[in-house]
Chain A
Amino acid sequence: MNLLLASAIAVLIGSGAYLVLRARLFTVLLGLMLVGYGVNLFLLAMGRVRVVVPPIITDAGGPYADPLPQALVLTAIVIGFGMTAFLLALAVRSRSVFGSDHVDGLADWTDSASASDSASAPTVLVDPHAAS
Chain B
Amino acid sequence: MIASSFSSGLLSSLVPMPVHQALARDLLVLPVLLPLAAACLSLLTSSIRWRRTLMLGTTLLLVALSGWLLPMADLGQVLVYRLGNWPVPVAIVLCLDRLSALLLLLTAIVATGSAWAAVRGDDQHGPHFHAALLLLIAGVNGAFLTGDVFNLFVSFELLLIASYGLLVFGGTPARVRSGVQYVVLNLVGSSIFLVGIGMLYSVTGTLNLAELSQRVALLDAPSAAFARSGALLLLVVFALKAALVPFSFWLPAAYSAASPPVAALFAILTKVGVYAILRMSTMVVGTDAALRANLYGEWLWPMAVATVAFGALAAIGTRSVRRLQSALLIVSVGTMLASMAHGSEAGLSAGLFYLVHSTIAAAAMFLVAGLSEQRDAPRRWTSVLFFVGALSVAGLPPLSGFLGKVLMLQAFPADSRLPVMWAVVLGSSLLAVIALSRRGAALFWGAADVPETSTLPRPPDQRLVPRALLSRVPPTALLLVLAAVTIGAGALSDFTQRTAQQLLAPGQVRSQIPDAPGGR
Chain A interfacial positions (CB closer than 8 Å to B): 20, 25, 28, 32, 35-36, 39-40, 42-43, 45-48, 68-69, 72, 75-76, 79-80, 82-83, 86-87, 90-91, 93-94, 97-98, 103-105
A45: B residues at CB distance < 8 A: 198
- Min CB distance A74 to B, Å, is 12
B191-A90 in contact (CB<8A): no
Using CB atoms, name the residue of chain B closest to A57.
B1
B188-A20 in contact (CB<8A): yes
A98-B184 in contact (CB<8A): no
- A sample of 13 cross-chain residue pairs with beta-carbon separation below 8 angstroms, ordered by A number, consists of A28-B184, A32-B187, A43-B194, A43-B197, A48-B202, A72-B201, A79-B157, A80-B190, A82-B161, A90-B176, A90-B183, A93-B171, A97-B176
A82: B residues at CB distance < 8 A: 161
Chain B contact residues: helix, strand, loop or mixed: helix
Most buried by B among A76, A80, A87, A97: A76
A98-B173 in contact (CB<8A): yes
Most buried by A among B160, B176, B199: B176
- Min CB distance A81 to B, Å, is 11
Using CB atoms, name the residue of chain A closest to B168.
A90
A35-B191 in contact (CB<8A): yes
- Min CB distance B269 to A, Å, is 17
Which of A20, A35, A36, A103 meets B181, CB within 8 Å? A103
- Min CB distance B93 to A, Å, is 15
Which of B160, B173, B180, B194 meets A90, CB within 8 Å? B180
- Min CB distance B220 to A, Å, is 17
A83-B190 in contact (CB<8A): yes
Using CB atoms, name the residue of chain B closest to A106.
B177
A39-B195 in contact (CB<8A): yes
B154 within 8 A of A: yes
Most buried by A among B150, B164, B195: B195
A72-B176 in contact (CB<8A): no
Which of B161, B180, B197, B202 meets A25, CB within 8 Å? B180
Please report the C-alpha to C-alpha distance between residue A75 and residue B149 in the assembled complex, in whole angstroms.
Answer: 14
When A94-B177, A98-B173, A105-B177 are in contact, do A46 and B198 touch as well, CB less than 8 Å? yes
B198-A42 in contact (CB<8A): yes
Please report the C-alpha to C-alpha distance between residue A123 and residue B202 in the assembled complex, in whole angstroms.
Answer: 50
A93: B residues at CB distance < 8 A: 168, 171, 176
Please report the C-alpha to C-alpha distance between residue A69 and residue B164 in the assembled complex, in whole angstroms.
Answer: 28
A104-B177 in contact (CB<8A): yes
B334 within 8 A of A: no
Chain B, range 155-199, C-beta contacts under 8 Å to A: 157, 160-161, 164-165, 168, 171, 173, 176-177, 179-181, 183-184, 187-188, 190-191, 194-195, 197-199
A83-B157 in contact (CB<8A): yes
Please report the C-alpha to C-alpha distance between residue A46 and residue B164 in the assembled complex, in whole angstroms.
Answer: 30
- State how many residues of chain B have any CB contact under 8 Å with chain A: 29
Which of A20, A48, A72 meets B184, CB within 8 Å? A20
A76: B residues at CB distance < 8 A: 194
A90-B179 in contact (CB<8A): yes
Please report the C-alpha to C-alpha distance between residue A36 and residue B188 in the assembled complex, in whole angstroms.
Answer: 9
- Min CB distance A108 to B, Å, is 14
- Min CB distance B489 to A, Å, is 41
B194: A residues at CB distance < 8 A: 39-40, 42-43, 72, 76
B164: A residues at CB distance < 8 A: 86, 90
A47-B201 in contact (CB<8A): yes
Please report the C-alpha to C-alpha distance between residue A53 and residue B407 in the assembled complex, in whole angstroms.
Answer: 58
Using CB atoms, name the residue of chain A closest to B172.
A97
B183: A residues at CB distance < 8 A: 83, 86-87, 90
Most buried by A among B165, B184, B199: B184
B191-A39 in contact (CB<8A): yes
- Min CB distance A13 to B, Å, is 8
B190: A residues at CB distance < 8 A: 79-80, 83
- Min CB distance B125 to A, Å, is 14
B173-A105 in contact (CB<8A): yes
Using CB atoms, name the residue of chain A closest to B171.
A93
Using CB atoms, name the residue of chain B closest to A105.
B177
Using CB atoms, name the residue of chain A closest to B194.
A39
Chain B, range 195-217, C-beta contacts under 8 Å to A: 195, 197-199, 201-202, 207
- Min CB distance B203 to A, Å, is 9
Which of A39, A47, A79, A103 meets B180, CB within 8 Å? A103
Using CB atoms, name the residue of chain A closest to B179.
A90
Please report the C-alpha to C-alpha distance between residue A83 and residue B197 in the assembled complex, in whole angstroms.
Answer: 19
Please report the C-alpha to C-alpha distance between residue A69 and residue B188 in the assembled complex, in whole angstroms.
Answer: 20
Which of A28, A32, A68 meets B201, CB within 8 Å? A68
Using CB atoms, name the residue of chain B closest to A41.
B198
Using CB atoms, name the residue of chain B closest to A87.
B183
B176: A residues at CB distance < 8 A: 90, 93-94, 97-98, 105
Chain B, range 257-273, C-beta contacts under 8 Å to A: none
Further 9 A-B residue pairs, CB within 8 A, beyond A83-B187, A87-B180, A104-B177: A32-B184, A43-B197, A47-B202, A72-B150, A72-B197, A79-B190, A83-B157, A94-B177, A105-B173
